[in-house]
Every structure is written in C-alpha cells, then in structure tokens.
Structure 1
Amino acid sequence: MTTSHTITLPVSGMSCASCAGRVERALLAADGVTDASVNLASKSVYVTYQTPADLAGLTQTLDTAGYPARLGETTLAISSMSCASCSGRVARGLSALPGVADAHVNLATETATIRFVPGTTSPTELARLVTEMGYPAQVKTDATPPQGNGAEDEVSRLGQLTLIAALLAFPVFVIEMGGHMFPAMHHWVNQTIGVQTSRVLQFVLTSAVLFGPGLRFYRTGIPQLLKGTPDMNSLVALGTAAAFGFSVVATFVPGLLPEGANHVYFEAAAVIVVLILLGRWLEARAKGRTGSAIRKLIGLRAKTARVSRGDDVIELPIDEIIVGDEIHTRPGEKIATDGTVLTGTSFVDESMISGEPIPVEKTTGASVVGGTINGAGALVFQATKVGKDTMLAQIVSMVEQAQGAKLPIQGAVDRITMWFVPAVMLAAVVTIAVWLLFGPSPALSHALVAGVAVLIIACPCAMGLATPTSIMVGTGRAAEMGVLFRKGDALQSLQNVKTVAFDKTGTLTAGRPELVHILPASGFDTSRVLSLTASVETLSEHPIAGAISRAANAQNVPLFAVTEFVSETGYGVSAQVDGHLVHVGADRFLQSKGIDLGTLQDQGTALGHTGKSPLYAAVDGHVAALFAVADPIKPGTPAAIQALKGMGLRVAMITGDNQGTANAIADELGIGTVVAEVRPDGKITALNGLRQEGKLAFVGDGINDAPALASADIGIAIGTGTDIAIEAADVVLISGELSGVVNAFDMSARTMRNIRQNLFWAFGYNIVLIPVAAGALYPAFGMMLSPVLAAGAMALSSVFVLSNALRLRWVPSATEHHDISDVKPTETLAQSGENREARI
C-alpha cells in the first residue's frame, strides 16, 4: 500500500493569485502529487504526495516553475566516517528524514550539507540523528576550522597508535614468521620456550594489539554490523576476529579442530591492525594536505589592526573592527580588511588573492583587499567590508562550496559503494564455503586464510576518496591561481564545452577609453599640443576628456590655467590656454569653426574604421593634432585567446557595440565569430545560436551580462565586474585577467583526468585483487595471498588515491603551461606606417 505524505513548503516569488495558480498547477502536474493548496498570505503551499514523488522532486518542480522553495541549509562536521559506505549511509539516513530535501556527504572534508524545510527539523536535530547513527556530528559554524586542529590531533593520535601496535606486534611477527622462514629459528623456539609458551606469548601480545590500538575497529565496526549496515571497520573487525579466534582455539582447545588444522594466525591479526593503522595515519596526513588551500586562505587573515579611536590609534583584534573605521597600515603589514584608501601611497602585493605577481599601486580613493600585503608606503584606509562580507571571506566560502560539491560522475560511484561492503562479506562467505568443499587438506586453514584475505583486502575507502579529494585539491589550486568554481559541477561541465563566447567591453577590453594615438600636424610639437589640449579637457566630464587627461598625467606634461571655457554638447569644447585659443572636438566641430583639417581628416577616417574614435585639436584657428581614443584590449587578452584556440575551442564575441568596432577588435584578436549590436536580452538569443555546435561558456563582467551568464551552460564572470554578474556565474575570475579563463579550462581538464585515474585504480584494485585474495591463483600456481599482504595492499590503496590527488597542488599556471606569454597581438593599421605618431 502506497503511503501518502503531507508537507507545507514556504515558497518565494508569489505576489498575486496568478502566481498561486501557477504554483498549484505546476505541483499538480508532477507525478505522485495528489493535492496542492497555496496560502498566499503565508506564501506557502500545502502538498500531499506519494511515490514516485519526493521532497527533492517537489523543490525541483518549484524551481523550474520560477517559484523556488525557501529552504534552510546547514553543514555538519562529522567524524568516524572511514569509507564510502559510511558516507553513503549517512547521506541515505539524512535524505530519508521528513523535511530533508537533499543531503550531500563529503568523505574527504568529513562534512554533510543538508537542505531542509524550516520548521520540520533543525540543524541541531540533524546533528543528533547523525550522531545516533554512530557518526558523531556537530553543526559547522564560521568558527569551525576546515580540517583544522581536530584533523591534526587525529594524525597525531593515529601515529601514536600505529607505533604502539607495531612495538607489540613485532615480537609476534618475529616468533611466528621467523620460524616459517628460518627452520633453525623454529627449532630454537621449540627448544627454549616451547611451542605452547610461544603461542601463549603471541596470544597476550596480539590481545594487547586488538583490544588496545585496534579497539577502534571493533567499537565502530561491530555495532554497524549488528545494525545491518556494515562498513570497512566491520570488514577489519571480522577478519582480525576470525584469525584471532581460530588461533585462540588452536592454542587452548586444539582438540576441537580437525587433524592438520592446528595452526595459529596471531601474527596475521596483529600485523593487519598495524598495517591498517599505518594506512589510516598516512591517509589522514594526506587528507590534511588536501585542505591546505583553505587553510592558506584563512591564514591570510590579519589578527589585529591599528585603528583610530578618537585622537588615538590603538591596536584591536580584527573581529572588533566595524565598517567606517579608519585603519593605519605600516609598511610590510597585512591589510586588515576591505576598504578605501584615505591617505598615503604604496604598492600592495595582491598575488595571494588574485594570483597576479605584480604589486598594485594604491593611492587616495583606491580599493584595498583584506589579507594582501602592504609594500614600502604607509596607508590609512576606511573599512568598507568586515567579517564574512570581505572578499577573502567570500573566496573562502566559494572554495569550500566547490570542494564540497558532488559532481555528476560521483552518482555512479555512490550507487556501487552502497552495496560494496555487503557484497564483500558475501564473497568472503562464498570463498570459505568453496575452500571447505573443494580445497585441499587442511581445508579449514585454507578457508580461513582466504576468507580473511577477502575481508581485509577490499577497500571501499579508495572508491569513496577518489572523487572528493581530487575536487578539493583541484579547486584549491585553482583558487590560488585566481579562479573560483562557485558551482562544483562546473568543474566537470567545462570538459564538454565546445565554444567560448566573450563580452567585449570590460572583458576583452579594459572597459574605459584611453588615448592610443596622437598624430601632430606639420609644425606642431606632440607634447605641446597634448599639454594645451589636456588643460582644456580637465574641465570636461566627457569620458574621452578623461582619457586625454590621464595620458597627459602619464606623460608628465605641464597643464595651464584655463579661461573662457565653453562646451558645446555633442560637438566639442573651446577655451583660452596660455595665450592661445584652443578648440577640441569632432571633425564637424572644427569645420563649423572654419578650420581646415587637411590630411588629418583622412587619417582620422582610417582610424575610425579600426574601431578607434578620432577627435581633433586646433590652436589659434589651425588644426594641431589628431587624437585617437579607444577602449584598449587588455594586455593578456591576445595570449589567452590564442591559448583557448590551441585547446581546440571555438572563440566568439558577443557585444552591444557597433559592427565596425566589433569587427576591428575581432580581427586584432583573431576571433572568427562576431555577434554585434545586440541588447542584453539579445545576447541570450545569440548564445542559443552558438550552442547548436555543442555546450557553450560565456565570459562577461557587467550587469547587462548577468542574463547571458545565467543562460550559458557555464557562466564565467570577471571578478572585477559587478556583484550581480558574479552571482549569476558558475566560475569567477578574481583578477579580471583572461588568463584565468585558460586556467579554468586547464584545471578542469587536469582535475577530471585525475578523478578518472583515481576511479580506475580504486575499482581496478578491488576487481583484480579480491579474486586473488579468494584464491583464484591457487589452482594454477599453488599460491595463496597472505592476509598480512592483503592488509598492506588495502592500506596502500587509499594512500595511492590521495597521493595522486595531491599532485594537483603543483600544477603550473596554464599561462606557463601553454607559454602564452610569447603570443603577440596583431599590429593595427595606426601602428604601422605613420612616422609622425606618438604612441602613448
């Protein structure tokens, strides 16, 4: 009989009866929903449903309809998960709870992220239920360090337990295995302490190993076995208990065993515990290193800051800083928090945040980022963001979310690991039965050895760690390069992208006009004309005027007092400067003043065809110079475009700019596909057209790019852009340099390749060695796998997966990998053949 469930879901976005009707219709159309009733006043919907409907499906239906459910979200820090079976069991247990929409458990980070319906449960209740399952859990807060002191304590504790177990097991191993390997030693033991005494000694030492350092396997594994939910600890507990129990019988009541089966396996039980503890210790150390990127980021945070309080400057803990505080930073100190410079000039090393090695100049009005390093100058800045609102805190949050992501490839792994441990236990039982029925004498001894080897050699840990450890290290290394994967599945999805489309302004280009050429007329000096022109333009608010003023400042030319300034909107400006009448404006402006532009007009028309904006200056009624202003291409853009094309990607440009300018930029960069003169909503249409050849990524920075970023298969936002664009994106480039796009694709490819290597090893190891442990080689070669060797192989399996994932920590930046620094931009028309120009 099908059971019906009812739940009240809070819904966002409903504002009228039409909205309520759409919500009800969407839910009622879902298979399994029998009733849906909206309460517009409380903005909620009461739903009755049965199989195949579930809460996760209902929330997905609401999302698709455009009225997402308002769900709570919490993260739990969980201990004692040792393998994929553990993490899968916790995930299934949480997902089965009423009110839980979905739960994702990450074995590598030892966390669970749960979305739930507020009012049906709470984070504290979820933590309690996980603890009752046998996995101690607590609600993770901002104060809970990721793999911090707790992980370090676990490494230390495992090291101590391994050492103690090894010291106790060593005499057992020497007595038993030494006697097998060296007959003289066997005779010596018999003649001195005797066989029975040596077995009793082995019993005492092995008991100390199993019920001392090895007790952790029994405390966790036996309860899980009794609950019908065995994990890897259960396999170890069963294997060692079988070897130990058989040996105890052989030592104290040998008459219960068949003739010829009176052997002891104390050394197997003891050494298995030592090797598995050693593997756990190596695994814990490696897992600690996988989270190094997060710890590095958190370590960037300043501890204290010198803050103005009244007439004094006092040192305060960073947590006591509030927005608006004036903070004094001395040379070499860390910038305490995000802010705006009030006084001072310095160069700040922002490489730890952006990945860019060149220090950035900071003067009055410039923005500074908490965690960066001040250079030789002193700065006073005003705090604009503190605590969790700072860029560093947001970067840490994004990296943590990406590291905890569940990629599509993980779904298949989870389905297999759910049945893995029970399947191994069944395989061990079958192995024992086959040996007892068909094995040579002594069949019981052979069956015991093979059964224990099967239990011990199986390694669900490697399967559980294969994907999350690579994600942790890969996204962490990407963050160090200035690439943040806001949505973890983007790491996998980038592999299927065929086309990369770029916005132009602010993405391929700098986003503001700059003076790129000055062509002086015959008889005029470039510096003198620039000085007079800039003096006039300092009084204008036009963006082009700002470009000329910045160029004059960069050239250190003198500026003069200006009188009789007149602005004619849309045409130009005039003024008296240093005893001269100066006109600056478009060609039609100077022509309206009766000024002949001569050959400069033809040159201006040619520059206009290359996407640059020409304007002219006249002094005392004579044309003096042609200025060309353009939104310049970012320095790293040509190299990045070439590198992407070298990866086999098609590159396109989508812009609202005019077709001529767009074509000129595209020609200079070698971009073959151009869609110009489109409105923000038209970008989505353009993306749909480009998507016909395969998945598509879009790179943009502005508010008008947000719809396209959300619509693309993968949205990549320039971090220097707007918050709205960043929120709509899947990947964020902190520095704004397009080399980050190359790094994103490169790290995606490397990480996914690393994951596939790990999965191949994890599954291949189990598929090949479990039959070997069962005795598959015995009929042909007379060989059986010792449980001790099985334990060693199992311990090293997880270590191999973690070590392979850690290789991603040393991946070079893609700009180095592809050597894109040697790629030169194409020479423009105005750069060639003009012997009178002054390049600025």
Structure 2
Amino acid sequence: MKHQYIISGMSCNGCRTKVEKTLNEIEGIHAEVNLNPGEATITMEKHVATEKLQEALSATGNYTIEMKTAENSGENAVKSCCSSKKEHSHHDHSKKASIPHNATGVFYCPMHCEGDKTYDKPGDCPVCGMDLVPQVAISHTQFTCPMHPEVISNEPGDCPICGMDLLPIQASGEENKSYTDLLKKMKIAVLFTLPIFIISMSEMIPNNPLYDIMPIEKWNWVQFLFSIPVLFYAGWMFFVRAYKSIVTWNLNMFTLIGIGTSVAFLFSVVGMFFPDIFPSEFKSHHGTIHLYFEAATVIITLVLLGQLLEAKAHGQTNGAIKELLKLAPTEATLVENGIDKVISIHSIKKGDLLRVKPGEKIPVDGKITTGESHIDESMITGEPIPVDKKAGDSIISGTINGTKSFVMTAEKVGSETMLSQIIQMVNDASRSRAPIQKLADKVAKYFVPTVVLISVLTFIIWAKFGPEPSYVYALINAIAVLIIACPCALGLATPMSVMVGVGKGAQFGILIKNAEALENMNKIDVLITDKTGTITEGKPSVEKVYAVNNDENFLLQNIASLNQHSEHPLAKAVVNFAKAENISVVEVLDFETITGKGVIGTIENKRIALGNKKLMLQVNASISSEIENKVTAEQNLGKTVSYIAIDQNVLGYVTITDAIKENSAQAIKELINQGVEVIMLTGDNANTAKAVAEQLHLSSFKADCLPEDKLKEIECLQAEGKIVAMAGDGINDAPALAKSNIGIAMGTGTDVAIESAKITLVKGDLNGIVKAKNLSHAVMSNIKQNLFFAFIYNTLGVPIAAGILYPVFGILLSPMLAALAMSLSSVSVIVNALRLRNLKL
C-alpha cells in the first residue's frame, strides 16, 4: 500500500536526507521524501500508524508528519527548520524558507546546494552565494536564490541564507531586473576602475607624465577615493556574501573573492595612511608603499562581469519554457445560447462550448463536438505534420487550428491543461539534482578550505624563499590563489546543462520529471514495453464476433452490455462496434473486473464472462476444440481474441485488431542498435504476442502477464544488475512503471500511468524513447565537458597562481589575470551548456 504524507520542518537538503533515512529505517516501509513541497511517498508492506512515524521523526529533529488529505494538500509543508540555532545547528536563517499562501513566484539556487529548497524572494544562495534564479511559472512573479531553491519570495531582495540576489522565477518583465541591476553596477565599476587601472599601469612608463601633474601621494588618494564606489557600491554584495559564508561556515566562491579583495584593499589603505609600519621591501623608490587598489577594483569588476553574463544566461536557459508560455492564448470565443462571445481564458469553465476559428490557438484541453480540422501539434509533440481531428477527438491547449472552424467542449482548464502540466513538470525537473552533481558537491565541500590553506602556504613560502621584495611577492601570489580558485564553474557545471536539457526535451514532447531520470535514461540496459497502446495504436476495433450457434447479435448484446461501464480500450471497441450494428445494451448486475483477465457480470440471471483463457479457467468454463482451433488461428495473425462464456459454456469469441504504430519497428531497431534489450510484456495470449514480436524482430517477449508478473520481471532484471526502463500507458502498468529505474508513460495513456512514470512522452510512441535516450546522452556528455572545464581551470590555475612556474620560466599570475581566468571558466561552462539548445533529436 502507498500513502502520501505532508512533512513540516524541512528547509534544506540535509533535512530531507535525514527525514528520508529515518523513515526508511522503520521496518516494512520504503519512503521517498521531497523537499518542495514537503511531502513523503511511503510504500508499506503493512499499515504503520502515523504516530509511529512521528515518534521516529521527533527523535531525530523538529519534524512533523501527517497524512495528506484534500483539506491539507494545498498547504505548504515547507517550514524552516533552520530558523534558529536550536532547531538546526548548521544554519542560522533569519527568515523562514516557506511559500506564503499568496505566493507569486519561486526562486532557487542553480547549484542546488540544499536540494529542492526554494525561496520566495530573489537574493543570494546561503551556501555558495550564487544569485538565485527564477523558476518559470504560468502567472505571477516570485523570486528565488540560484544556490538555494528552497527560498521563495514575492519580492526581489537577498537570500536570507547567503545574501545572493534573488532572481525572478517566471518569464516576465521582472525577469530582467537582476540583470538590469547588475548592468548598472557594472557601468559604475568600469567608470571608476578604468582611471585606477590607468594610474597604476602608468608607473611602468619611464618618466611617468602623470607625476608632472601631481605627485604619487596625491594619485594614491585618487585611487583610494575612486575605489570606494567600486567596492562599497558595485561590489558590496560580494563582501556581504563572503561574510555570510564565513559566519554560517558555508564557504564558497565569494569567500575567496571577499578575502582576496579585502586583503588587497585593507593593505593599501594601511599602507597609504601608515607607511612607516612596513619594512623597506614594501616601499617603492619614491618611498611610498606599493598599493593594490587596482587589483581589488579590477577583480571586483571582472567578477561582476561574470555575474552579469550568468544572469543573462539563466534567462536563456528557460527559453523553451518561455516559448511554451507564449503558446497559451489570452482569449477564447464562448458559444452561449447560439451567440459567440469573446471572454478571457481565465473565465473558461469545464463544459463550456468554445468556437475555434481558423489559425487560432486551442484555448484549453477538450474535445471537438461539431466540425473538423487539422491541428498543428508540433509545439507540444515536436512532430511537424498536422493531425486531422474530427468530432469526438481530443485536442490540446496551445496547439494551432488549421483552416477550418469547429466547436469544442472544455474538459480541462487552468492548471489542469496539458500545457500547464508540461510547464510545471519542466520547472520541477530543472530544479532537481542529477546524481552526478554529488561529485561536484563533494569536491566543493573541501575545496575552499584547501584553497585558503594553499594561499597561506603560498604566502609563507614566498615570504621566506622568494626574491626581494619577498613580502610583496608573497601577498600578490596569495591573493591570486584565492581569486583564481573560485569554484563558480564547478557549481554551474551540472544544473546549467540540466536546465537547458529539460527545456529542450519539452520542445520535443519529452517531459522529464527530474534530473535523476534524465541521467539514468542514458544508462538503461533493458526496455520493458507493453503492447497495447505502446507498441500498437491503442485504438482497437472489433473485426468480428463468432458464435457457435450463429446467433452473433445475441452474444454481441451480452458482451456490449457487460462492457458499457468499462474504460478499457478493448471494452470501448466492443461497445462502439455494437452501436454501429444498432445493438442495444441491457442492464448488468454484479459487474466485476478481473485484472489482467477480463470482466464478468449477470444479465437476465445468466452469468456472463468475457476475457482470456485464464478467466475461462477461473470461472470453470469449458472450451470446445473447434473454438480453441479457431482462436489459435486468429492469434497467430497477431489479433487479440476474447472468449465469451455464458453459464460456464464458451459460446463464441470476439476478434479485436490493434494496428502496430508506424514508427514502433524503427524505434525498436534503433534502441537495439544502441545496445538496449527490448522485451515485450503483455497481458495478451502467447500466439498474438509471438506474432507481434516476430513482426518487430523482438528478441524476447512474455505473454499472459498480469500486473504482478511485470513487476516480478523487472525485479528479476534489477537483481541481475540491469538498469530497467518500463514503457506503458495503462493503470495496470502503474506498479511496473513505479518499480522500474525509469518509468516511461505514453502521454496518450491514463493519468495514473503518467503519475507513476519518471518520463512522459506527449505523443505516446516508442520513437520518443529514442529521442529521450539521445537527449540524455547529449546532456550527460555536456555535463562531463563542463566538469572538465571547471576542474582543468582550477587544477592548472591554482599552482600557476601560487608561482610554480616562476623558478623555471619566471612566470607569475597577477590577481587581475586570475580574476579574468576565473570569470572565463564560468563563461565557458555557460556557453557549453547553451549549446544544447541547438541539439537535434
């Protein structure tokens, strides 16, 4: 049994991990915990009281758990456990990381330092200090930290944990506010840094012409005054972030920047006001101290440039979602009492009749009631060919009508539409963490303290063994080590690629629930696929009804009556066939569905059974050799056959055909070529399954599978160490989809199947699996490239900055060049991730 619970008291990924571990230690349950919203999905072998769950959580922290109900499901369960030192010792939050009832946006850290945590205000990530970036939403604007997705704010501001600028979530005018603010600061920084740089560099010119205007002491005062707006306005946020990172001991890139530039600036100020306290090697031939205002200001300006480029790039990563947002029309034509009336899309209610004119966008999900047309669904499915639609066919919001007008019934409105669900799913997936990111997290945890230690050792070694002025060399090289080692690129490597990749998938109708699914899709060894609705069209039709006594209409009336309330595709096919033959249905008593076998019920005091051979055995119905032979012949042609029994006597059968999708064979061939074993598990009989398997050249299949059989097959494969993907579309596939490493739901299937899956294919065919695997491979390759860029910069940069090349080549790296290299490392990662936008699937 599976239950949903709301958990309060979590605000970071550490909390989430602790809660999940605690729950999983309870015997007989398996728990999966999400941070935002604060929910747990718990699968139990037998019922475990909520009180017992609460007792376990109370023993490990200030967490509460309650069963999710209709009344509390809308509440936000994300409450800060880090709001005080008593509750959570490793953070000291000044604000609760919660989503208010009237929240209009969500911000998160692109590094996902604390998992799925979000903020309701823009600002800085409390762990790494990065700008919080926005999660694109359908309406209203909210703000979050790019380092801490758990912080959400309705207004722009700073992250309560790390002080970074909170960035807007959604695609709106406010999205550019952070970029605009950074651009303004960048202009101020350049305006005052350039004169400082010129003054400083002029010392290299023989007979410096500037000294003819003023003596060096006064030029030093100019540098000091010009550096104040750069450091204390344009770059002040970096010092705030550095301070917060040290106080909370969440050391990050801004720790290194803050320490390095502070040392350079404070050294220069003290040297200007109290020159006599320094030894002679710190003094120039003019008798003044070597000042480093230019190093501090140029570093701040270059880091600001990197932040500016990142802010612009974060807006580009959400480009796919923005395009989806543009698909939603703002108005619709309501047909009321025969009169057309233009209304806002927000005013549409379920059941409304809407007229869609040629060239207009479909306003909401629904079905055509009168008329026909061809619909361009490429923006949702990625398929360029328009689809013909007639009365009774389903249509999707955001798709574009062709050249004919029709009237439709609204079935799903607002957040229920597929377009809204796609946007929400892409948002959630963009904010999730890929397992490969653990590598970057592990490195970053020890990286900053190691760099600080290397910087200290660099100062000591240069001061003791370096050439004169040794202390000057020691100071400059120590600062250069701090600056070049900033791990910004390391943190950006994974989330930037994930954000772009998930958005790209959405453009092709591949909806990815989280980054883990995106990563694991590249590793699959086996694909388990259902037959009906996955390999086949899922639109079965009755070919014929065979009756032993030739009374086919009598049998058809009975089985149509039996199936009139069933949602199964085969049942619908029977009912539709009966309607076409003008056969009326009668009342059925004691109707019962036997999962994986068929249906039974009572009609006019006669017990009717319709289903496969397993059902016939269950109801003790006898099958004659004549019927058995005819059924086998039909099955060998790849057709599905259901026996019809009345009072334990099989009196005939119904033959149902379901065409194989055009691209199923091509997709399966491509997957096999990529080394994926494709296995078909179907509830259909062995003869039909064999015929389909041979037509598709499948190496393996299993027939007569009940839902538990599919589950066991997946468990066996996983026990062999296989990474298993399961593709299905029905309620009976839901357990297998949930159990598999990667559940892939056909978008044309049931909501239960889609909810259980990690990946949903909007178009609902196997070709989407090929595209999903290709996308996964491209994203993982991109992430590895990004990690290489990040590691290579730091691996090579730190030793060079420390001066390892000086004894042999006489090469030193100035703090300014170190800052430029650090910014370039981030830019290289961003540019490389954005290449995924041009990926062709």
- Compute the TM-score of the two structures, normalised by the length of structure 1: 0.72
Whole-angstrom CA distance in 1 between matches of 2:108 and 2:218: 38
Rate the CA distance shift 1:756–1:131 in 2: closer, same or farther, 3 A.
closer
Asked whether 1:318 is paired with 2:325, we answer: no
Whole-angstrom CA distance in 1 between matches of 2:329 and 2:281: 71
Which of residues 213, 220, 232 is equivalent to 1:199?
220
- Match of residue 16 from structure 2: none
- Match of residue 424 from structure 1: 451
Q: 1:721-800 counterparts in 2 under 5 A? A: 721-800=749-828
Rate the CA distance shift 1:326–1:703 in 2: closer, same or farther, 3 A.
same
CA contact (8 A) 1:344 1:378 kept: yes
Per mean C-alpha deviation after superposition, the further-off stretch among 274-283 and 360-369 is: 360-369
Whole-angstrom CA distance in 2 between matches of 1:93 and 1:308: 42
Which protein is richer in helix relative to its size?
1
Whole-angstrom CA distance in 1 between matches of 2:703 and 2:583: 41
Q: Tell me, what secondary structure is at the counterpart of 1:464? A: helix
- 1:414: Cα distance to partner? 2.2
Rate the CA distance shift 1:473–1:145 in 2: closer, same or farther, 3 A.
same
- Match of residue 232 from structure 2: 211
Rate the CA distance shift 1:545–1:318 in 2: closer, same or farther, 3 A.
closer
Whole-angstrom CA distance in 2 between matches of 1:764 and 1:460: 11
Which AA in structure 1 matches 2:201?
A: M
Which of residues 173, 193, 197 is equivalent to 1:169?
193
- Match of residue 703 from structure 1: 731
CA contact (8 A) 1:8 1:44 kept: no
- Match of residue 494 from structure 2: 467
Which AA in structure 2 matches 1:161?
A: K
User: Which segments of 5 or more consecutive residues in structure 2 lack a partner in the other structure?
Assistant: 9-21, 30-46, 80-97, 100-104, 120-129, 135-143, 284-289, 545-551, 564-568, 585-628, 642-653
Per mean C-alpha deviation after superposition, the further-off stretch among 44-53 and 695-704 is: 44-53
- Structure with max Cα Rg: 1
- Match of residue 220 from structure 1: 241
Q: Tell me, what secondary structure is at the counterpart of 1:380? A: strand
Asked whether 1:308 is paired with 2:335, we answer: yes
Q: Tell me, what secondary structure is at the counterpart of 2:341? A: strand
Which of residues 176, 181, 189 is equivalent to 1:152?
176
Rate the CA distance shift 1:147–1:447 in 2: closer, same or farther, 3 A.
farther
Identical amino acids, percent of aligned pairs: 37
- 1:787: Cα distance to partner? 0.5
CA contact (8 A) 1:172 1:205 kept: yes
- 1:384: Cα distance to partner? 0.9
Q: Tell me, what secondary structure is at the counterpart of 2:698? A: coil
Q: 1:339-378 counterparts in 2 under 5 A? A: 339-378=366-405
- Match of residue 77 from structure 2: 72
- Match of residue 624 from structure 1: none
- 1:311: Cα distance to partner? 5.5
Q: Deviations over 1:164-189 (max 9, x none)?
A: 32222222222322442xx34x5322
Q: Deviations over 1:502-522 (max 9, x none)?
A: 1111111112346999xxxxx
- 1:807: Cα distance to partner? 1.3
Which of residues 253, 270, 284 is equivalent to 1:232?
253
- 1:630: Cα distance to partner? 3.3
- Match of residue 379 from structure 1: 406
Rate the CA distance shift 1:26–1:654 in 2: closer, same or farther, 3 A.
same
- 1:673: Cα distance to partner? 0.4
Whole-angstrom CA distance in 2 between matches of 1:298 and 1:224: 37
- 1:786: Cα distance to partner? 0.6
Which of residues 232, 237, 243 is equivalent to 2:264?
243
Asked whether 1:503 is paired with 2:524, we answer: no
Whole-angstrom CA distance in 2 between matches of 1:125 and 1:772: 42
- 1:435: Cα distance to partner? 1.9
Higher relative contact order (CA 8 A, sep 6+): 1
- 1:398: Cα distance to partner? 1.2
Whole-angstrom CA distance in 1 between matches of 2:637 and 2:28: 56
Whole-angstrom CA distance in 2 between matches of 1:449 and 1:393: 54
Q: Tell me, what secondary structure is at the counterpart of 2:281? A: coil
Q: Deviations over 1:138-196 (max 9, x none)?
A: 9x9xxx7436444411112222222232222222222322442xx34x53223343333
CA contact (8 A) 1:206 1:266 kept: yes
- 1:313: Cα distance to partner? 2.8
Whole-angstrom CA distance in 2 between matches of 1:201 and 1:162: 20
Q: Tell me, what secondary structure is at the counterpart of 1:785? A: coil
Q: Deviations over 1:383-407 (max 9, x none)?
A: 1111111111111111112111122
Q: Tell me, what secondary structure is at the counterpart of 2:471? A: helix
Q: Tell me, what secondary structure is at the counterpart of 1:212? A: helix
Whole-angstrom CA distance in 2 between matches of 1:364 and 1:380: 9
- 1:233: Cα distance to partner? 2.7
Q: How many residues align?
A: 682
Q: Tell me, what secondary structure is at the counterpart of 2:340? A: strand
Which of residues 697, 720, 725 is equivalent to 1:670?
697
Q: 1:448-459 counterparts in 2 under 5 A? A: 448-459=475-486
Which AA in structure 1 matches 2:687?
A: G
- Match of residue 585 from structure 1: none
RMSD of equivalent CA atoms: 4.6
Whole-angstrom CA distance in 1 between matches of 2:583 and 2:576: 23
Whole-angstrom CA distance in 1 between matches of 2:225 and 2:6: 61
CA contact (8 A) 1:80 1:136 kept: no
Q: 1:401-416 counterparts in 2 under 5 A? A: 401-416=428-443
- 1:115: Cα distance to partner? 12
Q: Deviations over 1:260-297 (max 9, x none)?
A: 32222222122112211111111111111112122222
Rate the CA distance shift 1:655–1:25 in 2: closer, same or farther, 3 A.
closer
- 1:59: Cα distance to partner? 8.1
- Match of residue 256 from structure 1: 277
Rate the CA distance shift 1:106–1:637 in 2: closer, same or farther, 3 A.
farther
Whole-angstrom CA distance in 1 between matches of 2:831 and 2:282: 41
CA contact (8 A) 1:80 1:135 kept: no
Q: Tell me, what secondary structure is at the counterpart of 1:293? A: helix
Which AA in structure 1 matches 2:833?
A: A
Which AA in structure 2 matches 1:334?
A: K
Q: Tell me, what secondary structure is at the counterpart of 1:511? A: coil
Whole-angstrom CA distance in 1 between matches of 2:147 and 2:395: 33
Which AA in structure 1 matches 2:736?
A: A
CA contact (8 A) 2:800 2:813 kept: yes
Asked whether 1:388 is paired with 2:412, we answer: no
Which AA in structure 1 matches 2:218?
A: T
Whole-angstrom CA distance in 2 between matches of 1:340 and 1:448: 72
Asked whether 1:687 is paired with 2:714, we answer: yes
- Match of residue 837 from structure 2: 809
Whole-angstrom CA distance in 1 between matches of 2:149 and 2:186: 39
CA contact (8 A) 1:499 1:697 kept: yes
CA contact (8 A) 2:525 2:676 kept: yes
Whole-angstrom CA distance in 2 between matches of 1:676 and 1:161: 67
Per mean C-alpha deviation after superposition, the further-off stretch among 145-154 and 668-677 is: 145-154
- Match of residue 836 from structure 1: none
Whole-angstrom CA distance in 1 between matches of 2:764 and 2:582: 41
- Compute the TM-score of the two structures, normalised by the length of structure 2: 0.72
- 1:306: Cα distance to partner? 1.9
Whole-angstrom CA distance in 2 between matches of 1:385 and 1:332: 21
User: Which segments of 5 or more consecutive residues in structure 1 lack a partner in the other structure?
Assistant: 1-6, 11-22, 31-39, 95-104, 117-122, 518-532, 552-558, 566-601, 615-626, 814-840
Q: Deviations over 1:91-148 (max 9, x none)?
A: 8999xxxxxxxxxx996654599999xxxxxx9999999954354899x9xxx74364
